[in-house]
Structure 1
Amino acid sequence: MGKATVMSMLLLLFSVCTHAQSDLDDAFDKFSALYKQRFGQIRACLNPTTTRFSVCSPALRNDGNAPYILHHSKPTEKVVVLLHGLSDSPFYMRGIAQALFDKGMNVIVPLNVGHGQLVADDDMSDSDLAERWKEHLNDVIAIAPELGNKIYLGGFSTGGALVVDHYLHHPENVAGIMLFSGALALDSGVEKLSRIWGIQWIAGLLDGEYITHGPNPYKYPTIASFAGLELMEVINDIRDQLAQGKTVDVPVFAAHSQADSTTPISGIEDLLAHTTATNTFFVIDKGYKLCHANLVMNQAMVNDLHFNKQNVDLRDPCAVPTKNPLFSQMIMMMDSFVDN
């Protein structure tokens, strides 16, 4: 092989690599712009890595609350958007995101509106909060084609409700849905309360100032009643779409605990009854007594929480975060799902 041929091949390889990185740089710029517009100021994150692009801001409680993208420095065949739950942060998607990244996928983990902030009172009491949640997810999903060809949508708790709602309104270009403790139904008391006329206005008054600091550095100490009612709006929208005859025509992976009293498993069962593709339902028996938020937790995440047990009511079995004892099995089932 002549020197000219070798040089031509090197130049071609350099051109391909540069183009791929340029494509990701554009996606990173768009991702950053979403949070610069929201917070007004962003900054470099501490402890950066070559495979993790994070967007930090002085407005956040800490860098663990920051949105991020796990990437392979080029577009991949499949890309996943993973949205966290109500009152928590992208930290809670860490174990699942890493598993998908290890499968060779780029993974986008956004920060939902009103979350992870030092001050969140204005956002979490905004009468347009549910719509802002939906708009932000739409904006993030619009970036996904630059990172991969087949787009999967995943969500934990409220994030699960929002990705299902997005699919029912915009089913195009979605290859599959993944739900972890998906909030497609709430405690019966909350559901009944949501039917009272004017209850959101009353809830906003009763909530008072939204408290963001507590024993968990990556989750607010309480869920405001107003925000829970905004979630109920999303759930009701999903139910209305299904009642009108819409179906989910892409494969669904759902992992849920039978002991989950926050988001009863019946909501997932109802959704799966309106699907047409082959689904994977990972059910954790009620005998494990696995709490809602702990389904997405592995031991490494529990260790990294450095949860402060002081001033916590230890009589509540869900007060202190613990690992999902079947986390590895859940990931194995998820891996099999995305392989198909």
Structure 2
Amino acid sequence: MPILPGAEPFQADGGDVAALLVHGFTGTPQSMRDWAEHHAAAGLTVRVPRLPGHGTTWQECNRTRWEDWYACVERELLALAADHTVVVGGLSMGGALALRLAQEHPEHVAGLVLVNPAVRTEDWRIPLLPLLRRLTPSFPAIGGDIRKDGPSEIAYTRTPLHAGASVTRLQRTVRGDLSRVTAPIRLFRSAVDHVVPASSSAAVLAGVSSTDVEQVVLPDSYHVATLDHDAATVFGGSLALARRVAADSGRVVA
């Protein structure tokens, strides 16, 4: 299956501190590319995988499930953790996958950077997905929620509903195990987000067992904050966390 131009995975080899960055549902590594390049320039090893069913067609995405996406990022984490201190960052559903990694592999996740993490929704259609996905395979797109003029997100023009129903199962699973998360967290929430409600971030903050937690509200960005006005705030906060957890583990980021 051909990959959309610009949707390719990203990797850079640097020092013994690594950032694993996970894009969101219907998105691609392009939404994380600036973040990845910022950290690579600082000397980190960086991986941004392309989740199965993403960056090709929404019809292919409909043939994948959350377990497929999780298996992809889990492989990346375990490969990096063999000889790196790893910080995991995630946007939207990528934040839910990052939290799942921290729940399942606390010994390998030294820190979490969550950008508008999607662990719950207030969309009235979600409870109807089991029925709706039998009536239609897709809804209008959810990608491209960016306040800044100019940048655009490479994302599907339709939202695949079979895969979307699996997202809700991922969210329930992650919410149920939030108390298992103990890693330091930097959570960035956009003041205005047309995709994920503020209650999703609130649920994360209320549910985790982490004692080192900071929330930063982004005043000038919408959902895809990694491509928006406040991107530098996200990147700077992420790098600061990576440097701190690296020092705690006896490693140094340039």
**TM-score of the superposition, structure 2-length normalised?**
0.82
Please tell me whether residue 338 in structure 1 is matched to residue 245 in structure 2. no
Residue 209 of structure 1 deviates from its aligned partner by 11
Amino acid at match of 2:133: A
Match of 1:23 in 2: none
Match of 2:47 in 1: 108
Structure 1 distance, partners of 2:199, 2:26, is: 22
Please tell me whether residue 267 in structure 1 is matched to residue 200 in structure 2. yes
Percent of aligned positions that are identical:
22
Please tell me whether residue 203 in structure 1 is matched to residue 133 in structure 2. yes
Deviation per CA, 1:203-257: give whole Å up to 9, x if none.
Answer: 154026999xx9x682111222332221111110012223xxx332110111111
Determine helix, strand or coil for the equivalent of 1:255: strand
Residue 61 of structure 1 deviates from its aligned partner by 2.0
Identify the match of residue 107 of structure 2 among 172, 193, 197.
172
* Residues 138, 160 of structure 2: 8 Å contact kept: no
Identify the match of residue 150 of structure 1 among 73, 76, 85.
85
Q: Which has the larger radius of gyration?
A: 1
Distance 1:95 1:137, change over 3 A: same
Give the structure, 1 or 2, with the largest relative contact order (CA under 8 Å, sep 6 or more).
Answer: 2
* Residues 61, 217 of structure 1: 8 Å contact kept: no
Identify the match of residue 325 of structure 1 among 229, 234, 243.
229
Please tell me whether residue 296 in structure 1 is matched to residue 226 in structure 2. yes
Deviation per CA, 1:106-155: give whole Å up to 9, x if none.
Answer: 100000011111x452x3222x5111111112222222135x52011111
Match of 1:240 in 2: 176
Please tell me whether residue 68 in structure 1 is matched to residue 10 in structure 2. yes
Residue 339 of structure 1 deviates from its aligned partner by 2.0
Structure 1 distance, partners of 2:35, 2:160, is: 26
Match of 2:72 in 1: 136
Runs (5+) with no aligned partner, structure 1? 1-38, 40-58, 298-323
Match of 2:23 in 1: 84
Amino acid at match of 2:168: M
Residue 171 of structure 1 deviates from its aligned partner by 1.8
Residue 266 of structure 1 deviates from its aligned partner by 1.7
Amino acid at match of 2:120: A
Match of 2:161 in 1: 225
Runs (5+) with no aligned partner, structure 2? 145-151, 245-254
Residue 187 of structure 1 deviates from its aligned partner by 2.9
**TM-score of the superposition, structure 1-length normalised?**
0.63
Distance 1:151 1:204, change over 3 A: farther
Distance 1:183 1:190, change over 3 A: farther
Amino acid at match of 1:292: H
Match of 1:124 in 2: 61
* Residues 71, 106 of structure 1: 8 Å contact kept: yes
Length, aligned pairs only: 234
* Residues 176, 251 of structure 1: 8 Å contact kept: yes
Distance 1:120 1:193, change over 3 A: closer
Deviation per CA, 1:175-201: give whole Å up to 9, x if none.
Answer: 01111121122233144435xxx43xx
Amino acid at match of 1:61: L
Structure 1 distance, partners of 2:153, 2:189, is: 25
Structure 1 distance, partners of 2:8, 2:79, is: 17
Amino acid at match of 2:16: E
Please tell me whether residue 189 in structure 1 is matched to residue 124 in structure 2. yes
* Residues 120, 210 of structure 1: 8 Å contact kept: no
Aligned CA-pair RMSD: 2.5
Residue 81 of structure 1 deviates from its aligned partner by 0.9
Match of 1:253 in 2: 186
Structure 1 distance, partners of 2:125, 2:203, is: 18
- Report which of the two has the higher share of helix: 1
